[in-house]
């Protein structure tokens, strides 16, 4: 069975907290926040352009939808 390729997963701080404040295993986790998260394995940036510049893999942006969480792939 082929192992999935890692992704650069970008999310805001609220989404990060709602997912348990942990890096997403096997992927690069990038959080947009005003302050560092302090969580090992999580990269923190100030804005989306910085997150996009930092990403090393295929990008997946996770955003909150009004009723539930959705995943958007760019």
> What residues form DSSP beta bridges with 29?
9, 42
pTM of the complete model? 0.81
Residue 2 covered by a domain: no
Q: What is the H or E stretch that residue 49 is in?
A: helix 48-54
Q: Angle 21-34-43 (CA atoms, 0-180°, nearest 5)? A: 50
pLDDT, tens only, 28-51: 999 999 999 999 999 999 999 999
Residues spanned by the domain of 63: 7-73
State residue 39's pLDDT score: 96
Q: What percent of the chain has a predicted confidence (pLDDT) above 70?
A: 84
Query: What is the helix (H) or strand (E) element at residue 13, kind and residue range?
Result: helix 13-18
> Is residue 1, in this structure, part of any structural domain at all?
no
Could you tell me the CATH number of the domain that includes residue 32?
3.40.430.10
Residue 13 in domain: yes
Domain count, the chain: 1
């Amino acid at each position: 069975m082929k192992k999935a390729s890692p992704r650069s997963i970008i999310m805001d701080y609220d989404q990060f907290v709602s997912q348990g404040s942990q890096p997403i295993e096997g992927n690069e986790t990038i959080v947009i926040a005003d302050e560092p998260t302090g969580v090992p394995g999580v990269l923190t940036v100030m804005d989306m352009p910085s997150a996009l510049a930092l990403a090393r893999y295929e990008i997946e942006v996770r955003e909150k939808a009004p009723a539930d969480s959705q995943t958007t792939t760019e």
